[in-house]
Amino acid sequence: MFYNISNHPSAKWSAEQLTAARSLGGEVRDVAFPNVAPGASYLEVATMANGLVLGLGAKPGDVCMVQGEFTLTYMLTWLLRRGGCVVVAACTDRKVQERVLEGGKVEKTATFEFVQFREVVEPPPMSELVRP
């Protein structure tokens, strides 16, 4: 199973993104990413993450794309990976066009083109990443 835990319904994905998701996990299931109040405490966000994971029914080996508010995304990723799921993020090429309108206002239009799903993994130790 491929769980799309985001606010980007798979019905609006490109054919390339749908094909890539199905090749990773088979059937694609959309799960709305919950709204996280800016004043929510750590405990409230952790409770939200735990409830979502318990209600998901994901099994080890299932693939979960998790994209949304950062602290909830982080907690969901940690819980899902701990449960044996593969967590991925959609990687896109962002193309922006700007037009200067009358009065000096600027209009920006962004187009996102799917490139790949990248697995979210534990990083190597800092000693391997940063060298003096």
DSSP 5-34: EESS-GGGS-HHHHHHHHHHHSSEEEEEPP
The residue-averaged pLDDT of 18-42 equals 97
Q: Residue 93 corresponds to which amino acid?
A: D
Q: Give the domain range for residue 22.
A: 2-129
What does the pLDDT read at residue 132?
A: 60
What does the pLDDT read at residue 127?
A: 75
What does the pLDDT read at residue 34?
A: 95
Residue 129 pLDDT greater than 80, yes or no: no
Q: How far apart are CA 82 and CA 46, in angstroms?
A: 15
The residue-averaged pLDDT of 20-34 equals 97
DSSP-derived pairing of the beta strands 28-32 and 86-100: unpaired
Sorting pLDDT into bands at 50, 70 and 90, what band is 131?
A: low
Average pLDDT, the chain: 94
**Residue 75 DSSP SS3:** helix
Per the structure, how many domains does the chain have? 1
Write out the E strands in the chain.
2-6, 28-32, 63-66, 86-100, 106-119
What does the pLDDT read at residue 69?
A: 97
